[in-house]
Amino acid sequence: MNLMSGRTETLKQIVGKEIAGIAIRNSVGAGPRDQLFIVFTDNTYLELYGNLGWTNRLEIGDLETVKQYSAQFGGIVDIIS
């Protein structure tokens, strides 16, 4: 299994789960620079790490809107649903 297909399978597992909370960590020492943990109500979580950035507001749109917007920047857009 290559890296992308492994990530796709992980993302498929979280579609439809309910978020219980979110934790963020900004590094001042050891470990990844930034970490974002999305914790689900079934006591599982997904960790995102690295140099993370995001907007300061929620945008309006569905999966097709996101696909069209993100495709403007090139690369491959995978929709997991």
The answer to whether 44 touches 31, Cβ cutoff 8 Å, is no
CA–CA gap between residue 35 and residue 26 (Å, rounded): 7
* Model confidence pLDDT, tens digit, residues 29-51: 777 778 999 999 999 999 999 88
Which pTM was predicted?
A: 0.78
Residue 7 has pLDDT above 90, yes or no: no
